[in-house]
Copies of this chain bind each other. A is one copy, B any other.
């Protein structure tokens, strides 16, 4: 069996670094790769694979094997020397690390093209992300517009009902897909409704108070990254 995660160690959130700093936060890139490993392990589980070596997992996820071992080493010891990892156990352990072993209840705010795209994003269903509410400010969108693609339809509600509905439906993550001019206002509403996690797709930086977590997703940032690689490859 995979050695169980050492939760105390993990909850400290800091590890011995290899740089000049004695202690270092877990790199964001490691977290992103863990998410990738999780996706690959899920596919392996579905096709009935039971054991995987770090080289095989790396090949599947298109990273190198040393990277896989280094990423996992931040969180304890996994797998058995000379054998590899048990697919199911490693998958569960990574989900525990990522916090994706529980269901996350989300609301999408701003039901334009991008909001609608997220309402019908099938991959959320496979993972533990559940859209339980959709909000807009436009009365025409509010009346009767529903997403029927993801199992149970999600009704679009007026944004004024945010606080009440967030409490009722236990919403933990708010996804902002409004125009940039509305993003901070919506953020403030989400904060007031005690929605602790915010994913912002509007191309403007949002600010949240302490105790809340916000992530901006700028498509231009992603393109800058690609442009950099194209310019230097």
Does A220 lie within 8 Å of B35, measured CB to CB?
yes
Are the C-beta atoms of A228 and B98 separated by less than 8 Å? yes
Of all chain B residues, the one with the shortest Cβ separation from A113 is B117
Q: Indicate if the CB atoms of A117 and B121 lie closer than 8 Å.
A: no
- A231 contacts across to B, CB distance below 8 A: 98-99
How many residues of A are counted as interface, with CB atoms below 8 angstroms from the partner's CB atoms?
65
Whether A187 sits at the interface, judged by CB under 8 Å, is no
Smallest CB-CB separation from A203: which chain B residue? Answer: B123
Does A23 reach chain B (CB closer than 8 Å)? no
Query: What residues of chain A have their CB less than 8 Å away from a CB belonging to chain B?
Result: 11, 13, 18-20, 27-29, 31-32, 34-36, 38-39, 61-62, 97-100, 104, 112-114, 116-118, 120-124, 126-127, 129, 172-173, 180, 196-197, 199, 203, 205, 207, 211, 213, 215, 217-233
